[in-house]
Every structure is written in structure tokens, then in C-alpha cells.
Structure 1
Amino acid sequence: MLVLLPPSETKADGGSGAPLDLAALSFPELNPVRDRLATALAGLDPAPAMAALGLSERQADEVERNARLRETPTMPAIERYTGVLYDALGYGSFTRAQRARAGRRLAVASALFGVVRADDPIPAYRLSGGTVLPGVGGLRGVWRADLEKTLSAADELVIDLRSGPYAALAAIPHAITVKVVTASGAAVSHFNKAHKGRLAAALACAPREPGTVRGVVSIAAAAGLRLVQAGRTALELVVG
């Protein structure tokens, strides 16, 4: 099973790993695009970088962070990304066995790296899925062919928890999507990320890996989460 998480705008600082080595990342077939984007992002002058990334003067340090992304320390992707979903995931409280399962099952969509597994060592950076990068263009056009080929080739159950801008980078025809809804069927927006984080934690920590949608529903139920099938490749996480 591959549980595909959205990234976050915010990243943890620091790290104890060696600087970025694309050869150390999963899905090595994506490295030519990764290298192209890393070079373009690190080489942007401050003013066009801030405009392209939608940053304010108070966020100027994000541009410097990008400029040094090949030099700064790395840490596992699952620890690099922060925010509501990752707080709800609670990776820091996982046991050693649960961390090993998470390393096999969790992956994160990324505007810069396409997709990385939980244990992949990455630096801090700033780049969003909807960015139009000077000298490169829109990221959907950059990523779509290669990323769709990689993700569509996954011969395991794929649970797609990506947000819109990252889902747009690559379609995964066989993936199971999850929508967070209320009991009345209304979409949940404000706490969407937290609920997806809890679901991801349940799937990552389950002693047995599910091979079917029914198995995913059962794992969620054991964790106190209500998943219902809304189509052949669609699930709804009912909350409230």
C-alpha cells in the first residue's frame, strides 16, 4: 500500500543528514526533473523568486533557503513537513515498528521532488504545486508525463490524500481518493487536513497491510474513523 500525502508550505528547519543527494531518493527515474527544478529554484534572483513564490518581505529568508538547498542538511521527509496534517499524523509518537511500516507505506507529493517516501532525506525548501517558475514554467507541464508514469506504475493499493494543486501534477487512474465530509454529505474544509492525518496514521501503523478497499475501511474503523465507499475508486471519511 502507498498512502500519498500532500506536502506543506511550512518545513522544519535544520537536520542532521548530509546535503541533498538525488541518488538517495526513491523513484530515481524522476531525478532529471528534480535536478532541473532544484537548479532553477536555487538560481533565482531574490526579486523574481519572491514574486513567483508569492512571498512577502518578511519571508525573504525563504529565498535564501532555496538558494542553499543543495548545501543545507537534510532530514527524513516525514519529519521535514509540518503543519496540521503532520501534527495529526503524530509521527513523533510512533514506535520503532510503526516507523518502519510508515517508511514503507507513506509518501509525500512534492512540487520540487515529485514524490518522496517518508524516509527520503530532503532539505528545507519553498515551492508550491501551483507555482509558475521563471525559466521553467508551470509545474504541471514539467511534472505530468514523468510523474504520471511513475505513479501509474505502482502495482500496490494507492490511497491518494493529495490536495488539489498536487493532484493536478499527475493523475493516478487506479488510486483510491478520499474526501472528508460531514454526516450530511457536505465537504469539510477547515479540519480536512487533520482528519486526513489521522487516517494516514491509522493506515501507516496497522500491523497488517490492506490489499483491498474493504481492508482500508476496516483499518479505519478499528481506529474509530468512519470510511464509506462512494464509488469504485472513491472513499468518503465521514466526520462530525
Structure 2
Amino acid sequence: MLILLPPSEGKTAPRRGAPLDLGSLSLPVLTPARAEVIDALVELCAADPVKAVDVLGIPKTQPELVDLNAALREAPTARADRIYTGVVYDALDPATLSTAAKRRAAGRVMVTSSVFGLVGLGDRIPAYRLSGDTTLPGLGGVQAHWRRHLGPGVVEALGRGLLVDLRSGTYAAFWRPEGEIAARTATVRVLHEVDGRRTVVSHFNKATKGRIVRALLEAGAAPRTPAALAEALRDLGWAVEQGDPTAKGTQLDVVVSEL
């Protein structure tokens, strides 16, 4: 089983740590594509910080984010599960997983990244600011870049297992499952139900996805089909409705009434 998470917009910049070593990251097949993004991002932020603010959508009150990108190659690194913050990662809370769950997370969970394509939770990366819908001078659209390059990395990481795709729309556009892989892909949507009315609420969606991943890791669940995942989630206490298989995978709706 491979679980794909979205990144967080907010990131914790480590104060110390070794600089980035692309060769040490998971999925070395992605190294050349990663280097292309880093080259374009560093060039933009180092050569024209004012332009970088506009291109990257950085608030003018946070120019330090441009400096962060400019120093990407030399900046301190830390484990990815310490870099990414926000609702998903607060709910997952990787630091407090049991020893066995941490071991499973190392092999089963990866984060979609605008800079790195995919990273494992234990990969050492620096903090950065680059949204998935950005167009970088010299590179083009980040989404289009990863659509050209991410596939081999996903296929290698997935192997013959089930893909549990929890990415948000922006990052789902980096790569989409097709054919045989789509048949073993489950996407998860979280619906908030109040008085019989269901809506998608961002905070519920993110927090519940983090809790789902945590519960699956702690339980040692290893479903191999979308139907088996739905059953595993029901066993863990969630109300789950399974959609019909499509060319893009099978959608599971997790219905929650409270956070």
C-alpha cells in the first residue's frame, strides 16, 4: 500500500542540519526533474526577489520566504515529517506514532511536493515556498513539469499494492492513475453531515485524512483493493460509502458528523 499525501503550504524551517543532498532522497529516478525545479526556483529568487514575490504569490510582508528559496541548496534540512505542518500533519502527528507504525509510515507514506515530486517522511529536505499551480521562468508550469516526470516514481513506489490517493486537486494534477493502476487506486473524500445535509469542509477533510492515515498505520492494515480499504476503515470506526470503479479509480466517501 502506498498513501499519497498533499504537502502543507506552511513549513517549519530547521535551524540546523546538513544541506540538501538530492542523491539521498527516495526515488532517485526523480533526481534530474528535482534538480530542474531547484535550479529554476533558486535562479528566480536569487536574481530577482521582487519578481519572485509576484510569481510565487508570496505576501509582501513575508520577503523571507524568497530568501528561503534562494538558499535552497545550502539551507539546513530535516525529516520531511518535521518540515510539513498544518491540519493533515497535526492529525497524523508522526512523532507520536508507535514504533511499528513509524516503520510502516516509512515504507507506505509519501508526500507530493512541488520541488521534489514525491518525498518519504524520513527524507531530509529544506523548507521552501512553491505552490503546485505556479509557473516558473525557465521551467514552465510546475504541474506540467511533474506530469512529464512523476509517473516512473509513483510506479516504483507503488509496486503491486493499493494506491490510497489523498492528494488535493492541485497536486493530483501532477500525475493521474490510468489503466491497471487505476483499478487499484482509492481516492478518499470526507463529507461533513449535519441534519442530513452533506458538505465538503476543508478543515474536516484535512483533519480526517490525517486521522485515517494514523489509524491505518497503527492498526497495521494492509488492504490490497479499494473494497478492502473501505472495510478496514469501517472496522476502525468510520462510516464509509464506496463508489463504482472508474477509469481514474474508486472513490470512498467518509462521512463524519463532528471533528
Which residue in 1 is equivalent to 2:27?
A: 27
Does residue 166 (structure 1) correspond to residue 171 (structure 2)? The answer is: yes
Matches within 5 A, 1:1-240: 1-14=1-14, 17-44=17-44, 45-152=48-155, 154=158, 155-173=160-178, 174=182, 175-183=185-193, 184-232=197-245, 233-240=250-257
Residues matched between the structures, number: 240
Aligned mates of 2:253, 2:67 — CA distance in 1? 41
- Cα contact 1:102–1:205 (8 A) shared by 2: no
- Cα contact 2:7–2:112 (8 A) shared by 1: yes
Cα RMSD over matched residues? 1.7
Aligned mates of 1:48, 1:192 — CA distance in 2? 34
- The one-character-per-residue Cα deviations of 1:50-91 (angstroms, maximum 9, x if unpaired) are 111111221100011111111122111122100011111121
Q: Normalization by structure 1: what TM-score?
A: 0.93
Query: 1:177 deviation in Å?
Result: 0.8
Query: 1:207 deviation in Å?
Result: 2.1
- Cα contact 2:192–2:204 (8 A) shared by 1: no
Q: Normalization by structure 2: what TM-score?
A: 0.87
Aligned mates of 1:199, 1:208 — CA distance in 2? 11
SS at match of 2:62: helix
- The one-character-per-residue Cα deviations of 1:119-165 (angstroms, maximum 9, x if unpaired) are 11111111010011122111122111211233245322110000011
SS at match of 2:243: strand
Query: 1:22 deviation in Å?
Result: 0.8
Query: 1:212 deviation in Å?
Result: 2.4
SS at match of 1:57: coil
Structure 1 gaps of 5+ residues are none
Percent identity of paired positions between Structure 1 and Structure 2: 45
Report the CA distance shift for 1:102/1:16 in structure 2 as closer, same or farther (over 3 A): farther
Aligned mates of 1:220, 1:164 — CA distance in 2? 23
